[in-house]
Amino acid sequence: MAVVGAAAREIVQVRLGDELLDTRAVRKDGTVSISVRVPRHTDPGAYVVTVRGASSGREGTATLQVLPAPRRS
């Protein structure tokens, strides 16, 4: 996922639906790398993941499909 127009050192927020998962600073070259874990309490289904620049307001989105946890035998 890319956030086009985010400025170097801009803070970006990562959200799963309405839940804030992480914040990171954009590197000097305009890139950011983020790994997040889906919270355990998240129900299965489709969710929108949003990365948004705090000062520019620019954002990128992707759909994430959360699957049910495998049943233990």
Question: What per-residue confidence (pLDDT) applies to 27?
Answer: 86
What is the domain partition of the chain in residue ranges? 11-34+42-66
Alpha carbon of 18 to those of 9, 14, 33, 42: distances in Å? 24, 10, 21, 12
What is the model's pTM? 0.76
What does the pLDDT look like over 42-62, one tens digit per residue? 999 999 999 998 888 888 888
**Amino acid letter for position 27:** R
Size of the chain in residues:
73
Full pLDDT tens readout for the chain, 73 residues: 656 677 889 999 999 999 999 999 988 887 888 888 888 889 999 999 999 988 888 888 889 999 998 888 7
